[in-house]
Amino acid sequence: MRDHPRAVATALGVGAGLPATAGAVLAGLPVPLFTCVTLVAVVAAWRRPAVRPVPAALWVLVAFAAWSTVMTVVGPWAFHGTPVLLPRGGVDEQVRAPSPLTYTTSNLAQTVYLLTALVASTFLARTGTATTALRTAAWTGAGGSAVRSTFEAVGIDPLAPVLDTLAVDYSPAGDTRWRGVFAEPSELAAFSMGVSAFAIVTAARTRGTERVAAVALSGVGLCDLLASASGTAVAASAIVGLAAVVVVVARFLASGGRGAPAIALGTLVVVGVAVAAGDRLLGPVRSLVVDKVGSQSFDARSAADAIGLRVAVDSLGFGVGLGSDRSSSFVVTLLATTGVVGLGLFASAVTVLLRSALRAGCGDTPCVPPARSPWSRPPTPGPVVAGLLALLAAKAVSTPDLSTPLLWLLIAGCLGVGRPHGAEHGIRHTDSVTPERPIGTVSG
């Protein structure tokens, strides 16, 4: 493993693509596959003496993890008895009768998940193997979901004994929507949104076989997104679509009109599709929105977010600790569990990540030379930034878990392309190595 970090990255990608699958059982509790593989990454990282300079955003993430850990230890004691939505209690049941805050196994589990995810991101960033993990996760999650859902469509589910081993199936009985290898349709929608954005931008910025693979991945991801038929898919698609239009218009104006033929052609295609199949495309979306608004699920999620905001107030803005509350929105859950400080640190880390990655895309010299294989190549700014923003948009609607593996792989991708801490002082890498081998020493 020391000489082949790509093997660890590939395993991390598989674990990230199968988030509802256990890799081991400790004291009767299933441990996610991604967490188990991260322990291997810890050993590999410990044996690797030469590292890249530490990106500034990583220190903010470390501060966030430290604060979250402290509040997880202190929060349930300081605010004992506060009405919360415990992760294992179920949302529908607890919105009517919230549970009193106390220490649970979820506090320990969520803390471990956060720390191991941060370690995994650091390992991928320092070894330049984030692209390997991202593409492996994307194909595993999107492709695996499509294959499993196809099996389910014909009335069989041979993969269930292998994939559903975390006992976190939140889908109601009789739900015909796709959830693939995930716990519920909204999680599939969030994953597919991030993967689709990553793949679409990759396709727009590559050529040859790499573009073909990216187009295929985006097609699978979009199919999963549509088949999930969740409110998360509709809301996140609207947010991401509007943001994409704004970006295209801004780039068009900033470039002085460059790319006008491509934009005109794309507009004509969209208009043509809308005219030819508008009702068939928008009809299911309208039905989904109408059915969702005012439904029991919509009311429960709205009530869960209201309770989460109340938890933040009752805890005086400090938060009640990881694993102590699970609202619907990622932002609300982060505020309720880690408080104003935790939310601010996480938002600051994401801001620094995006700024560093975008600067790297505007001419900064990469820390490692390009590899022959696109799977080995260090991540490029556009795809990972698009994927991270799309995933965060989906998580802002639903999927409140901080431990979502794809989130941390995209963070690793941004860490890998962002300017390292110390680069502004002229520090650069001089060793000519490929990402499969240890990154060379730093010379000042």
% helix / strand / coil in the chain, to the nearest 5? 65, 5, 30
Per residue in 205-226, pLDDT (tens digit) is 888 898 899 999 999 998 998 8
Query: Residue 81's pLDDT is what?
Result: 93
Per residue in 59-108, pLDDT (tens digit) is 999 999 999 999 999 999 999 999 999 987 777 778 888 999 999 999 99
41 pLDDT band (50/70/90 cuts)? Answer: confident
Counting every residue written for the chain, the total comes to 444
For every residue of 13-51, which 3-state class applies, written as one string? HHHHHCCCCEEEEECCEEEEHHHHHHHHHHHHHHCCCCC
Geometric angle at alpha carbon 38, from 412 and 203, rounded to 5°: 35
Geometric angle at alpha carbon 418, from 368 and 410, rounded to 5°: 100
Cα→Cα distances 190→224, 229, 250, 401, Å: 10, 12, 26, 11
174 pLDDT band (50/70/90 cuts)? Answer: low
Per residue in 133-169, pLDDT (tens digit) is 999 999 999 999 999 988 988 888 888 888 888 867 6
User: In sequence order, what are the beta bridge partners of 29?
Assistant: 26
Residue 56 pLDDT greater than 70, yes or no: yes
Cite the DSSP H helix spans in 98-159.
Answer: 105-127, 130-138, 144-153
CA dist., res. 185 & res. 404, Å (int): 15
Element of type H or E holding 84: strand 83-84
Provide the pairing of β-strand 428-429 with 442-443. antiparallel
50 pLDDT band (50/70/90 cuts)? Answer: very low
Buried b (16+ CB within 10 A) or exposed e, 26-43: eeeebbbbbbbbbebbbe
Query: Residue 314's pLDDT is what?
Result: 96
Q: pTM of the prediction?
A: 0.84
Residue 256 pLDDT greater than 70, yes or no: no
Query: Residue 429's pLDDT is what?
Result: 40
Query: Residue 433's pLDDT is what?
Result: 39
Query: Residue 424's pLDDT is what?
Result: 37
364 pLDDT band (50/70/90 cuts)? Answer: very low
Nearest to residue 24, comparing CAs of 38, 13, 44, 10?
38
115 pLDDT band (50/70/90 cuts)? Answer: very high
Q: Mean pLDDT in the chain?
A: 80
